[in-house]
């Protein structure tokens, strides 16, 4: 039994890293724009499809395609921002919810029209490979995804803390009107925050292509989990998103291993409610949200 528990914890940590990278994108958008993007799962799904299309063109492995997918997702995000999101910046939260939920359904149906509902996958030589950790093992694609997620999350944290644009985005998250008076171009800060969140979602989708098949509603599987992680870690907190993702991954794996695989989401929900009962603002939440 103890062997099963340790193996489940290892699997949960690896899954949690992937959850975390999706949650960090949501965290950045909320921290800067005070908007929860309910279409984030569908952008992850498009990241998976872009990986598939680029593989068909280049024949490269999915990991070699990370720079290309990041560029394509950045362009895609900029177009979506200019056509849809920019028009509602500064509106109330209800408007954000309605627009992003509608965008979610639109993107899902667009994917079905463009790619059909037939599942596809990106071939990989390491799909079933594993790494031995003493008496335990770790799925190689999940381990790579976890390590890549940690590197990306650290890079985003450095960007937010050490660069002029990162500081501008943090200032905008505190009070957009004051930041604008101080000479910060808040429109650029909003654009960069939204585009960056979509790049992270797209790269997360790429990292999942050796693990999951690709179909139009695949993003819905991770959407609710990512939203819970953002709230659990503290709205707007990047370290909170990482820790929240790992906690959720471990809980899901333990419940699935020790009780029933179908009860993983229920276990996540119970832990989510318990933590918020003890600390309503989330693990790293504060009085004022910062990215």
- What's phi and psi for 114, nearest 5 deg? -75, -40
What is the DSSP annotation of 34-63? ----TTHHHHHHHHHHHHHHHHHHH---TG
Report the predicted TM-score, pTM, of the whole model to 2 decimal places. Answer: 0.89
pLDDT of residue 288: 47
d(C-alpha 77, C-alpha 230), whole Å: 21
pLDDT score, position 1: 55
Distance CA 176, CA 140 (A): 43
The predicted pLDDT at position 291 comes to: 44
The residue ranges of the chain whose pLDDT is under 50 are 288-291
Would you state the pLDDT for residue 36? 85
Q: CA 84 to CA 99: how far, in whole Å?
A: 8
Report the pLDDT value the prediction gives residue 103, as an integer from 0 to 100: 95
- The per-residue pLDDT for 198 is 94
pLDDT score of 183: 87
Instruction: Single out the residue of 41, 35, 51, 46 nearest to residue 18, CA to CA.
Output: 41
Q: Please write the tens of the pLDDT for every residue from 140-192.
A: 888 998 898 889 889 998 998 899 999 999 888 888 888 888 888 889 999 99
Q: What local confidence, expressed as pLDDT, does residue 104 receive?
A: 94
């Amino acid at each position: 039994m103890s062997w099963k528990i340790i193996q489940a914890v290892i699997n949960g940590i690896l899954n949690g890293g992937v959850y975390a990278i999706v949650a960090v994108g949501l965290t950045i958008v909320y921290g800067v724009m005070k908007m929860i993007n309910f279409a984030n799962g569908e952008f992850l799904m498009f990241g998976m499809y872009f990986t598939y299309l680029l593989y068909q063109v280049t024949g490269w492995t999915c990991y070699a395609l990370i720079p290309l997918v990041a560029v394509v997702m950045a362009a895609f995000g900029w177009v979506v921002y200019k056509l849809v999101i920019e028009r509602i910046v500064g509106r109330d939260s209800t408007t954000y919810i309605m627009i992003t939920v509608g965008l979610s359904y639109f993107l899902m149906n667009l994917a079905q029209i463009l790619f059909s509902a037939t599942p596809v996958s990106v071939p990989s030589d390491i799909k079933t490979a594993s790494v031995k950790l003493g008496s335990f093992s770790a799925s190689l694609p999940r381990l790579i995804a976890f390590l890549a997620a940690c590197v990306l999350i650290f890079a985003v944290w450095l960007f937010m803390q050490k660069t002029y644009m990162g500081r501008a985005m943090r200032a905008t998250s505190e009070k957009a009107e004051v930041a604008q008076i101080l000479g910060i171009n808040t429109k650029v800060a909003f654009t960069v925050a939204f585009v960056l969140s979509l790049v992270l979602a797209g790269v997360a989708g790429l990292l999942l292509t050796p693990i999951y098949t690709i179909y139009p509603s695949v993003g819905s599987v991770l959407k609710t989990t990512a939203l819970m992680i953002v709230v659990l870690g503290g709205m707007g907190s990047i370290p909170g998103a990482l820790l929240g993702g790992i906690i959720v991954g471990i809980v899901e794996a333990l419940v699935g291993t020790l009780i029933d695989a179908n009860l993983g989401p229920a276990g996540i929900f119970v832990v989510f409610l318990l933590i918020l009962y003890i600390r309503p603002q989330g693990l790293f939440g504060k009085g004022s949200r910062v990215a």
